[in-house]
Amino acid sequence: MKSLTSFRKKVYTVVKCIPCGETKSYSWVARKAGSPGAARAAGTALKNNPFVIIVPCHRVVRSDGSIGEYALGAGLKKKLLETEKYAGRNKDKIKRTG
């Protein structure tokens, strides 16, 4: 994390707080990171996210609700979002082990 800019650190911190099954816009992320109007910069930061397991950048979509870009492919982004929404709606039906 040392080599990350202050803005990127803020973006990743904000995105880590988006709950599973929910989405937020790039402009929402930029505002929460303290830089309203920096939606494109937030998108660029997420495009270069080195922590995809920890920072769920797939939960960030365009302001119009469309999927937007994803470094691992828009198809995978859509699948991840659908899976999270299914799991959220059916959490009582999904058997957890361990």
Helix (H, G, I), strand (E, B) or coil at 83: helix
Instruction: Kindly indicate the confidence band of residue 69, based on its pLDDT and cuts at 50, 70 and 90.
Output: confident
pLDDT at 62: 95
pLDDT value at 90 more than 80: no
Q: Is residue 61 part of a domain?
A: yes
pTM of the model: 0.85
Structure tokens at 39: 């939606």
Q: Is residue 95 part of a domain?
A: no
Q: Is residue 24 part of a domain?
A: yes
Pairwise pLDDT comparison (53 vs 28), residue with the higher score: 28
Split into its structural domains, the chain has a count of 1
Q: Is residue 63 part of a domain?
A: yes
Q: Is residue 97 part of a domain?
A: no
pLDDT value at 94 more than 80: no
End-to-end CA distance of the chain: 32
Q: Is residue 36 part of a domain?
A: yes
Q: Which active-site residues does the annotation give? A: 57
pLDDT digits (tens, 9 = 90+) for 17-47: 999 999 999 999 999 999 999 999 999 999 9
Q: Is residue 94 part of a domain?
A: no
Across the chain, mean pLDDT equals 89
Provide the CATH number for the domain around residue 44: 1.10.10.10
Q: Is residue 96 part of a domain?
A: no
